[in-house]
Amino acid sequence: MYRGKPIGGKKAKVSPSGPPDADRVKAALKKLQELHEAKLITDAEYQRKKSDLLDLL
């Protein structure tokens, strides 16, 4: 019988609308910068993806 407790003991995340697109883009840009600083992506990959993300704003 369901008693309102999520399966696995974890809280369910409910976000029907989610953050605005600008917030999502900013978060993606931050993550992209972290990947670049950690040398996990090249300068060219960073610039290309950064440009793509900025175009979404």
pLDDT tens digit string along 3-43? 555 555 554 444 455 566 899 999 999 999 999 999 999 99
Q: Is residue 40 part of a domain?
A: yes
Tokens matching residue 30: 């931050």
Range of the domain at 50: 19-55
* Amino acid 30: pLDDT: 97
In a domain, 27, yes or no: yes
pLDDT, residue 57, reads: 85
Between 51 and 17, residue with greater pLDDT: 51
Residue 12 lies in a domain: no
* Within a domain: 14: no
Predicted model pTM: 0.64
Q: Looking at the domain assignment, is residue 36 inside a domain?
A: yes
Say if 5 falls within a structural domain: no
CA-based nearest residue to 28, from 4, 51, 5: 51
Q: Tell me if 8 is assigned to some domain.
A: no
Overall residue count recorded for the chain in this entry: 57
- The pLDDT, as a whole number, for residue 1 is 46
Residue 13 lies in a domain: no
Q: At what angle do helices 21-37 and 43-55 cross, to 10 degrees?
A: 170
Q: How many independent structural domains does the chain possess?
A: 1
